[in-house]
Amino acid sequence: MAFNISSFRSNMLGDGARANLFEVTLRLPRALETLPGVQSLAGQGIAETSRFLVRAAQLPGSTIGTVNVPYFGREVKFAGNRTFADWTVTVINDEDFKLKNTFERWLDYVNSHAGNRRQSSDPANKLDYFAQLGVTQYSKSGGAGIKKYTFVDAFPVDVSPIDLNWGDNDSIEEFTITFAYQYWISDTTDQKNPG
């Protein structure tokens, strides 16, 4: 087939999706909203702050394992179980350490530093540290978003260190937060958004 720029352009809807047109929504579990040091970001405060300070994220991938069964010298492959890789976001650090402090407090809630215990605002519900998180991809024309993902029952598993350096001029601190979650859903999966 000969090179044809017009055919290529006509098959590229909207000039292609752009990696810089996205928004991340981080939320806190209800149990954390009343803890000291977290009230300032309770409710929608953290969602609003994360819209501006989360600089990088990913749209999640999808992986289904395989079950290999040997048969007469060959391996026959069958579909296995779905797995969900951790999700990492990169955050710009502001001088009040709003998001860093909040996620360090969330990790402390899950497992305290000194006591090695899980805190709980409701002793009957030991799983009150989960929250729903989201990422939305936008088109160049804006609007409601062209692709949305919700991470169901997510919780942080890592807040990265921030490197300090006297020679590091003209830059703003950043750190990453890595989340584990049960599964993700999107506008193309068969489940409704629980959040």
pTM of the model: 0.85
Asked whether the predicted pLDDT for residue 40 surpasses 70, the reply is no
**Alpha-carbon dihedral 180, 33, 30, 187, rounded to 10 degrees:** -60
CATH of 16-59+73-186 given 2.60.40, 2.30.110, 3.30.70, 1.10.1060: 2.30.110
Res 57 pLDDT > 70: yes
Per-residue pLDDT, averaged over 21-45, amounts to 75
What are the pLDDT digits (tens) for 126-174?
Answer: 678 899 999 999 998 888 899 999 999 999 999 999 999 999 999 999 9
pLDDT band at 125 (very low <50, low <70, confident <90, very high): low
